[in-house]
Structure 1
Amino acid sequence: MNPLRRFSPATFVIVLAVYLFYTGSVSEYDLVTGSIVALIVSFLVGHWLVKNELKFFSPRRWFYAIIYGLRYFLIEETKTHIDVAKRVFTLKANPGIVRIPLEVENDYGKVLVANSITNTPGTIVVDISDDGKWLYVHWIDVSTLDEKEVKENVVSYFEDYAKKIFD
């Protein structure tokens, strides 16, 4: 394969952003080092990581991604941390594993949903079905077994944004 066809600009941007985020600096040294690392990664594995470059650079998708990130980290995370803290102090928990239908078609969207659920206190994805249509989630408060209600309580917010960003 032609080396230039293997290069992925989207992977370069993502890796550089992650590098700069974790170093916490945008000095010349970090920009150069991060660019070198991002360049190497984007040549080696970029063509596997990002399948459709044109969709990646869509401003509409980035707008939804930013809104999702802000709302997720500022609102949803705060609400669930408070809920889990209350449950720890009151010892009121009804844990269990629930099966949730998944409507996102894109693998990136499925990963976003699964990671968002796992990063949210009180829930963790334990499995995704082989066909990718079901999530099995350990939930701290299984208040219902109705699939629609479970989906509304655990997944709907994440899935709505995953569709807007990736599908």
Structure 2
Amino acid sequence: MRSVPVMIAAFVTYIIITGSITAYDIITGAVTAFAAGLLFGKHLVSNPSKALNPARWVRFALYFLKYITVIEAKAHADVIGRILSGDVRPGIVKVPLNLGDEYARFLVAASITNTPGTVTVHMDDHCVYVNWISVSTSDLEKRREEILEEFEENAKKIFEGGGA
């Protein structure tokens, strides 16, 4: 049962990446997903019922769509503006993190790193160290709000079941 969420995720990822739903791709995707599920399911999924919860998958899909459209566009515009204006004050900053789930922390770290202007340098259970293109505050809570608050809220909804 722990293999099923990995199989589903691998199959969907395969179909999205290939961009094709021919018989060949469906069969190849199914075989690949089956192998991935058998190999990695026991290592990646600790709670199958939680991992198979459709509400979590919908939340993740909605977050992903918002991330690749709205959040990325804002970050790109900000970085372009900073490059053109020269308003760049780079630095590595410590940012508090309020997540218990390992996958939620990983999603936040990946979201930070994939967003232009920020890169996750190090992470532990309580904070993230981020290389930030424009250090604008020394206040830890304001840094959290500016850099990762939205990522953290979405990660809680997806992996910890918090929020609406």
Correspondence for 1:25: 20
Which one-letter code corresponds to 1:42 in the other structure? Answer: G
Residue aligned with 1:142, SS: coil
Matches of residues 42-121 of structure 1 in structure 2 within 5 Å? 42-121=37-116
Aligned to 1:154: 147
The correspondence for 1:144, drawn from 137, 140, 151, is 137
Can you give the 5+ residue segments of structure 2 that lack an aligned partner in the other structure?
none
SS at the partner of 1:45? helix
Q: What is the aligned length?
A: 160
- Segments of 5+ residues of structure 1 without an aligned counterpart are none
Shift of 1:67: 2.2
CA RMSD of aligned residues (A): 1.2
The code of the aligned residue for 1:158 comes to: F
TM-score by length of 1: 0.92
Partners of 2:149 and 2:35 lie apart in 1 by: 37
CA distance in 2, matches of 1:41, 1:72: 26
Moved over 6 A (4+): none
In 2, Cα distance between the equivalents of 1:12 and 1:20? Answer: 12
Q: Deviations over 1:101-140 (max 9, x none)?
A: 11111111011000000000000000012xx211000000
Taking the aligned partners of 1:16 and 1:59, their CA distance within structure 2 comes to 16
Alpha-carbon distance in 1 for matches of 2:87, 2:131: 16
Distance in 2 (alpha carbons) for counterparts of 1:66 and 1:140: 28
Distance 2:67 2:37 in 1: 28
* Pair 1:135-2:116 in alignment: no
| Equivalent in the alignment of 2:29 | 34
Give SS of 1:143's match.
coil
